[in-house]
Amino acid sequence: MEKKEHHFVGKHYLMKQAFGQEELHEREAVCTREVPPACTSACPLHLDMRQACALAAQGNFSRAAGILRKTTPFLHLLAGCCNAPCEKSCVMENLGDGVSMQVIEKACALYGGSGAMNRFMIPKKKKIVALAGEDLFCLGCCWELGKKGYEIHWYTGEKTPQEILTDWGLSKEEAAADLGSLEGFRIKKFPIQSGDGSFRDTCMQEADVLCVSPAFRGETLPETCFVGKGYQEVSWILADAKYVALKADRYLQGADFEDVSEPKTDKSRLFVTMDGVTGSKAVAGVETVTKETAQEEAARCIQCQCLECVKGCVYLQEYKRNPRGAIREIYNNMSIVMGNHMANKMINSCDECGQCKAACPNGFDYPEVCRIARQVMVETEKMPPSAHEFALLDQEFSNSEGFLARTQPGYESSAYLFFPGCQAAAVSPETVEKAYKDLSGRLKGGVGLMLGCCGAISDWAGRADLFTSALEKIQREWEKQGKPQVICACPTCRKVLQEHTDLEPKGIWEVLLQLGVERVTSGTISIQDACGARQDAQARAQVRKFVEALGCQVQELPMAQELVPCCGYGGLMPYANRELSLKKAAFAAGQSQGRILTYCMACRDQLSKAGADTCHILELTYGVEPPGVPDLSGRRANRLKLKEKLLREIWKEEIPMEEKLEIIYAPGVEAQLDERMILKSDVQAVLKAYEETKAAAEDEEHGYLITNCRIGNVTFWVKFTVSEKGYVVHGAYSHRMTVE
C-alpha cells in the first residue's frame, strides 16, 4: 500500500494518503455499477439505450431523442437500417424477446423534435477541415466536426446528402428529418469526380486537416489526412466517422491523437440479476410506430444495473451511494489538508460488516476502504475524538474496572479459558454466569474465565495502538493460565482472536455440541447470522446444528448466512450515527415476523431495540429469560455486578464498594442520558465535584441548579435540585469544550 506524508511548517498540518491514484483506479474498477449495460457495450456507437428507454417509457420522447442525439442524429437511419446488435445482446433475450431498440429509435425520430442545434450555440473555430467523399461516412464526419464549430470544405460528387440516405432505403421525408441536424453548420461543397484524387492539392491549400472517405483508401494522401476504415454496417460507419473526426479534432488542437480508441464492442461486465423478471414479446416491426406502442416497448426495459450490494445495506441506501463513487469521495476526503472533511460521518457510519463484499459478484471490499480511511484520519488528526470516544472509553472500562482473569478454583493453570466478550457481560450477565458454571462443571483440566474486550472496538475506531494494547493484554493473561484452549461466546471475538493472536479459539456452540445439548424447546425459528461469522461457513453450520439439537427447526431468513444484513452495531455505528443504526436494526428485524435467534449478544440487543422477539442461543440453552434492553449505564453496571458476583461466589473474594451519592432521576431523564451518551457515573462525578466546590449557576425560571465538571475531553452539565432523599436530576448535557 502506497503511503505519502507531507508536513507543513508553521501550523501543524499532516497529510497521509493511504493509497495512490493507481490503486484507487484499481479498486474502482472492481465495482461494475457504472459499467455500461449489455446493449450499450454491444453497440459500436455505445448509444445509451437504457436511459433512452427510461425516458421513452415516461412518454418523454424529446428528452429520449436528446440522449441519442448526443451520439448521432441519424435516428431514422438507425431505426431502419442498423443490424441492431443491442437487441441481440439485451438480457431480456434470455426470457423471450430483447427490447426492440429500433422501435424506440423510430419513436424518438418521429416524436423527439428536429434535433437541429441553435446556431448561436455552435462555436466558431478558425481552422478548416477538408472532407472528401460522397457517402454516409462523410455525413457522419460533417455532423461530428460541424457541431464542434469547424468550417468544413466538403469535396463531393453529384450525390446530394439526401440521396446518400435514400440509397440506404430511407424515404425523402425521413432523410430530410435526419439531415435537419446539420442545419446551421458551416459546410461548403466543392465538386469532385468519383475516383478523382486531384482534390488533394486543392483542398489542402486552404484546409488544416483532411478527412477522407474509405473510397479513397490506397491512394497517395498527405500526412495530415485521416481515412475511414471501410465498414459496411450503419452503426460501424457512423462510429468510424466519430473516430476519424475525433482524431482530426485532437490534431487541430495540438493534442495527442494516436491514443484515440478505434470503434469496438465488447461484452458488458455489468452483473444483472433476472430474479422476478418475466419474459415478454417485443412490438413487431417499426413501420407504424405510435407513441403508445413505443412507450409500451420502452417499459419492457428492466433498466439493467447492479444493485447487489445495495439490496441489503441500509447504509448504502441511506447515503444513496454506490461503492465506486463512495471510495472516490473517501479518497478525496483523505486528501484534504485544510478545510472541512465532509465525508467523515459517512466514513464512520459504515458498520464494516462485509455484507456488500459478500454480495458483490466481484468481491468489491468497500469496508476495507472505510477501515483504512479511519486509521489514516486518526493518524493525521483529521478525525474528531468525539466520533468514537464513548465507545473507546467503554473498551477501556471493560479492560480495567470490568476486567477479570482467573483460573478455576483449585487449579493453578487452565486447560480451557472462557472468553464471553464484553457485550454478553453487558447485555445478559446471568447467561455468562450459567455458561461458565456449565463449562467448568463438564470440562476437565480446569476452565479459566476472562471478562474483557477483544479490542474490536478500537479496531473499528481506527485506533491501532489501543487495538494492539487490548490484544497484548489478552495474550499475557492467556499465557499466565498456561495457554489454554480459548472458548468464545461471541463470533466477533472469535474472529478477532483467530486473525490477530495465537489463541486459536473455538466457538462455545462447537464445544457444547461435543459435550451434549439437551432439547429445551420446539417449533420453527429463524437465525440472525453474525457478521463475525460471515466468512465462516463452518461456524454457521455448527450454530444451525446446535439450534436443531435444542429442538428447533431452522427457517432461513430471506437474507441469511453470508448475505445477512448487519444488526447496526458493527463498526461502532450506534455511536457515530445513532439514527442509521436504528434503521439497520429495524431492517434486520423486519426479515421475520416470528422469533429470531442470535449467537451474537450485540445482535440480540439491537434486534430487541427494534421490537423483534429475539433470544440468544445461550439464553435459550440455559433457560434465561431475555432481560430486555439495558441502557448504556445499565450495560456498564451489569459488567461490574457480574464481576463482583463471580468473585464473591466462585473465588470467595470481596470488592470494596465505592460510596455513591443518592440520586433520583426525574421522569424521562434516564432516557435522555442514554440518548446523549451520558452515563450515570458521569452524573455521579459531576455532583461529587459540586459537593467539593459548591460551584453552580441558578436557573431562576425552573428553580434548578446547574453545575459542570470536565471529565477527560468532555464537560458535563447537570441540572438538579436537592431534596431530603438526595439529589434530583432534571437533565444533563455535555460539550467538548473547556470552561474557564
pLDDT in tens, 10-21: 444 445 566 778
Q: What is the pLDDT of residues 584-607, one digit of tens each?
A: 999 999 999 899 999 999 999 999
| 462 and 607 housed in the same domain | yes
CB-based contact 31:322 (threshold 8 Å): yes
Does position 295 have pLDDT exceeding 60, yes or no? yes
C-alpha to C-alpha distance for 349 and 345, rounded to whole angstroms: 6
CB-based contact 134:156 (threshold 8 Å): yes
User: In the listed set 593, 614, 645, which residue is the last one of a domain according to the structure?
Assistant: 645
User: In the listed set 335, 357, 379, which residue is the last one of a domain according to the structure?
Assistant: 379
DSSP E strands, 618-667: 663-665
Give me the pLDDT at residue 16, please: 58
Q: Mean pLDDT across the chain, nearest whole number? A: 89
Tell how strand 13-17 and strand 4-8 pair up: antiparallel
User: In the listed set 645, 672, 694, which residue is the last one of a domain according to the structure?
Assistant: 645
Does position 47 have pLDDT exceeding 60, yes or no? yes
C-alpha to C-alpha distance for 349 and 577, rounded to whole angstroms: 6
Percent of the chain scored above 70 by pLDDT? 94
| 522 and 671 housed in the same domain | no
| 635 and 702 housed in the same domain | no
The amino acid sitting at 344 is N
Q: Would you mind telling me the total number of residues written for the chain in this entry?
A: 740
Query: Residue written as cell 473547556?
Result: 738
The amino acid sitting at 168 is W
581 in any annotated domain: yes
CATH of the domain at 223: 3.50.50.60
Q: In this structure, what C-alpha cell is assigned to residue 223? A: 500526412
Give me the pLDDT at residue 342, please: 72
| 538 and 619 housed in the same domain | yes
57 in any annotated domain: no
| 493 and 639 housed in the same domain | yes
Q: Which residues contact 377 (CB under 8 A, 6 or more apart)?
A: 333, 334, 341, 344, 347, 383, 462
Q: What is the pLDDT of residues 197-251, one digit of tens each?
A: 666 676 667 888 999 999 887 777 777 789 999 999 999 999 999 999 999 999 9
Residue of 445, 425, 447, 421 lying closest to 436 (CA atoms): 447
CB-based contact 138:214 (threshold 8 Å): no
C-alpha to C-alpha distance for 559 and 565, rounded to whole angstroms: 7
| 586 and 632 housed in the same domain | yes
Count of CB atoms within 10 A of residue 172's CB? 11
Give me the pLDDT at residue 4, please: 46
| Stretch 675-701: mean pLDDT | 92
Does position 668 have pLDDT exceeding 90, yes or no? yes
DSSP E strands, 365-520: 404-406, 416-419, 447-451, 485-488, 506-507
Helix (H, G, I), strand (E, B) or coil at 419: strand
Tell me how many domains the chain contains.
4
| 640 and 682 housed in the same domain | no
Q: Which residues contact 288 (CB under 8 A, 6 or more apart)?
A: none
Least confident of 165-169, 223-227, 702-706: 223-227
Q: Which comes out higher in pLDDT, residue 2 or 635?
A: 635
196 in any annotated domain: yes
C-alpha to C-alpha distance for 231 and 202, rounded to whole angstroms: 27
Q: In this structure, what C-alpha cell is assigned to residue 505? A: 479459539
Give me the pLDDT at residue 286, please: 67
279 in any annotated domain: no
| 399 and 472 housed in the same domain | yes
Query: Residue written as cell 407513441?
Result: 291
740 in any annotated domain: no
| Stretch 318-332: mean pLDDT | 86
137 in any annotated domain: yes
Q: How many CA atoms lie within 13 A of 654 on its CB side?
A: 3
268 in any annotated domain: no
pLDDT band at 338 (very low <50, low <70, confident <90, very high): low
Q: What is the pLDDT of residues 403-416, one digit of tens each?
A: 999 999 999 999 99
69 in any annotated domain: no
Query: Residue written as cell 440468544?
Result: 616
Query: Residue written as cell 441502557?
Result: 631
Q: In this structure, what C-alpha cell is assigned to residue 550? A: 435444542
Buried/exposed 600-612: b ≥16 CB within 10 Å, e otherwise: bbbbbbbbbbbeb
Angstrom distances, CA of residue 330 to CA of 34, 116, 371, 391, 599: 18, 42, 11, 23, 33
Q: In this structure, what C-alpha cell is assigned to residue 127? A: 481552422
Give me the pLDDT at residue 10, please: 43
| 347 and 468 housed in the same domain | no
| 439 and 335 housed in the same domain | no
Q: What is the pLDDT of residues 483-525, one digit of tens each?
A: 999 999 999 999 999 999 999 999 999 999 999 999 988 889 9
DSSP E strands, 205-338: 209-212, 225-227
Helices (H) and strands (E) in the chain, counts: 34, 21
DSSP states of 617-672: HHHHHTTPPP-----HHHHHHHHHHHHHHHHHHTS----PPPP---EEEPTTHHHH
C-alpha to C-alpha distance for 226 and 213, rounded to whole angstroms: 9
Q: What is the pLDDT of residues 462-475, one digit of tens each?
A: 999 999 999 999 99
Range of the domain at 8: 4-27+322-379
Give me the pLDDT at residue 543, please: 96
| 430 and 371 housed in the same domain | no
Angstrom distances, CA of residue 374 to CA of 115, 116, 350, 369, 412: 50, 52, 11, 9, 42
Query: Residue written as cell 465538571?
Result: 709
Does position 531 have pLDDT exceeding 50, yes or no? yes
